Amino acid sequence: MSTQRQKADHFRALHARDEAFIIPNPWDRGGARLLAQAGFEALATTSAGCAFSLGLQDNQVGRERMLAHVAELAAATDLPLSVDLENGFGHDPETVAETIRMTAEAGAVGGSIEDATGDPAHPLYELDHAVARIRAAVQAARALPFPFTLTARAENFLVGKPDLDDAIARLRAYQEAGADVLYAPGLRTQEQIEAVLHAVDRPVNVLATAAFDRDMLSKMGVRRISVGGALTRVAYGALLRAIEEMRERGGFTYFNDAVPHGELQKRFAQERD
């Protein structure tokens, strides 16, 4: 079993490569095991995936329950784990710092803090307060006995404020506050992605879309690609189609797309190195 320091060093090194790496987002222990077996080098949580698996809406899980989920995924494989920490589970910088410390204690080696407030009337924190929150997270991360990789997120495109200039200004401010990785989820065009890349000098994470593949994003200069809740939604999409077939037509043809029981038995019998 790799130590947390070894995982942290490996995760940090992945961002220093000349090509992008994909960090997929499992929502449960089984998915984490399958992704590790497939050869991915790091994993990230998804707040939406965790919430949906508990029958909740995104951002309704709460810190205690989320950290239990983090501990479970961190122990599932030897891979480094980065955590979707939403807004740090609190508005004030002190709470954000505490969340970073608790996340490290749960076994993760990285995490992201977003600047969305959760208030539709004022969806983004004022910049000065948002920067103070990132600075507090950075200070907490630097006090740990290993290099915790802190990602700062500008949520403009996810909260109905798709102002690229403001998102870039926020990312640059978070860079100055000490963030290790920068992330503006929801970018959709090459021009938007390249504008972010040219404006900052830290590794940039991009949320995957069907419009781009790893090679295309890597050539632009992207260093990390996450998929957010997409894997969860793919799985639940298959479940909903099966439910509809049984309920509306009384059919079971979805069996044809099912993974054989023996195949999953075989995969989950494999021991980690």
pLDDT per position in the chain (273 positions), as tens? 689 999 999 999 999 999 999 999 999 999 999 999 999 999 999 999 999 999 999 999 999 999 999 999 999 999 999 999 999 999 999 999 999 999 999 999 999 999 999 999 999 999 999 999 999 999 999 999 999 999 999 999 999 999 999 999 999 999 999 999 999 999 999 999 999 999 999 999 999 999 999 999 999 999 999 999 999 999 999 999 999 999 999 999 999 999 999 999 999 997 554
* Calpha distance 82→22 (Å, rounded): 12
What DSSP character marks residue 159?
A: T
Nearest to 236 by CA among 51, 36, 75, 108: 51
Q: Which two tokens stand for residue 254?
A: 């979805």
Residues present in the chain in total: 273
Cα of 239 vs its chain's centroid, Å: 23
Q: Which CATH architecture has domain 4-229?
A: Alpha-Beta Barrel (3.20)
Predicted confidence at residue 1, as pLDDT, reads: 61
Q: Where are the alpha helices (DSSP H) in 117-202?
A: 127-142, 164-176, 190-199
Where in the chain are the domains? 4-229
Q: Which residue has the tokens 């992207």?
A: 222
Nearest to 197 by CA among 216, 177, 210: 216
